[in-house]
Structure formats: C-alpha cells, structure tokens
Structure 1
C-alpha cells in the first residue's frame, strides 16, 4: 500500500456534509506527528503501522496519548485513520470494530489489545456503516492502554526497545532515565 496516496471514503449521515470526496489519510497523520514533534523512528513506525488494521488502532491510541503534551492537538487524523483501520480490518482480520451508539465510541479489538475511541463529537460520520458490528451498551473490558502506546507503535518497526531507548542516567544515580533517540 502506498501510504502517501491512500485515501478513504468517509461514510456520512445523510445531508450532513457538502462534500463526499475521498480524504487523504497520511497528510493528516503527518500533521499530527508534526504537532507532537515526533522523532524519525516514531514516524517510520507510524508509516509501517497504517498498513494494518490493528496498526491503525495502535497509531490512533499513540496520537491520542501524545495530545496531552501539546497545546491544541491536531485531531484531523482521527476519523480518516479510524475509517482506514475499519476498512483494513475487513481485509486483514487484524481487528474487529464495534460501534456503541449509546457510548458514542468505536472499539477495535485485536488479538492482543482493545482500544476505545470516543467519536460522539464526530456526529456527521455514519459510524454504524464504518464498524463491523453495532452493539448498544457494549461492555468494554479494556484498560487504559496509552501507557504502552509508544512501545506498541514501535513494534511495527520490529526494533527491540533497547535500540530506540537510550539510558541518560549518571553512573552515580540509582534511577534510570530513558529518552528516545
């Protein structure tokens, strides 16, 4: 898949938008990565991740986790990335998507994790058409998974953690401090 030119058709509720043109996904992800000042390995991992449905969920989770670090996150990536993830799920069976209209959330269930994305503010999108299943009152049993967001994203590069983390601690200090290179 050529991620630079990948587009998605976002299903819209009737009469809620003037344009049904396909939306380019990568430029919006790139804008979000620019906003959080992502380093080159993180950008490479993002490019690798969006080739898979579970990777789209992991990337959306990572970008959401980083929003707390910046002033006014660029969330334009969210809808196209989730729609792409749902489309890829039908192709690669890497995840299942469930929409809960009562909660206003779409869930991605992968083999290893569950991800929850609140989409009630994105009211023009026909989330029932996006998701594999619609389940009002869906009982999500997931946990806060943003703590591991970067590690899971980096898994798409197949790079061991110790190769993208470096020890910044002094020899005298007993605590370890790590930063990305």
Structure 2
C-alpha cells in the first residue's frame, strides 16, 4: 500500500500551499486518492501558512494527520514547529538559505537544501518553493515530475508563459540537487 503524509510550511507568500496544490493535483491525475488541507495564520501577509497533503492508493479517512512522512520547511519557525511530528523513516527538506539545523527525531532524515540560493541562480528568489517541490518529488517519488510539469503548463502557458520556464527550471534544479544528495549518500553507504 502506498500512502504518504506531506506537510509543506512557511510564511504566507512563500508558496508552501502551491507546493501542496501541485502535488495534490498531480497525484489525482495519476489516479491516486488525495486530500489537501490548507491552514493560514491570521495575518494578511507574513503570517504562517501550511498545507497537509495525503497521497494514497486507497481511500483516505481524514485529511488531518499528526505524524508526518515528508516535511518541506521553507523557514525556521516551520522547521522548529513541525520537525518533532516527523516519524522514524520520514524525510525533512529545509531551506538552508533561511533555516539552521535543528535536532530531529531519531530515524528522521534532514536535508538542508539552499532553495533560495538555487532560485536566485535560476533567476528569481520567488521560485524557491518550486526548488523545494523538485527536491520533494525526487526525494519521495510521491508523484511523477512530468505530471506536475503538465499542470504548470496548464496554469501558466497562456497567462504567464515567462513564469512557466522559470518554474520548470526551478523544479528541475531542485530535483537535480536532491538526486546529487541521494547519489552521494549511496556512495557513502
């Protein structure tokens, strides 16, 4: 049985909810059962925002979970708040451009990736969330990258074609970064 509980979190405006939305839409397109449950802080801008996504090949009883299989933390407060909810065998991706390392539960893998720096190299720090999305997909294989890219084409091709290439490039760079991390870990094992 395939089931993964993903939590994406950051400040409002960082794009955590978009990561979750793209994963959820891609998972549905691939024939999986999906829940997408956003949570917003009370602030208009700069407050907290997170989203719980469950992807499963079986029906899902509740969209709420307290144990996380994969966490994408776009900022330090999100990392500190949600890392303790990660279970043994889970993965944490943190934006090392904005997060410092913290102790994580035993059996949890923490990968600090410079989402913001990579996004800057791609051309705009606003796509740091897409760098995180690419890394998440490569790390968990929760959805196919091609499916996410198809959804981005549908969203952006006509309205903002210049954003399409920027986002696709950011996803690719995030996936490449994670693939290099995984390859290095395999070489050290």
TM norm structure 1:
0.28
Higher strand share: 2
Larger radius of gyration: 1
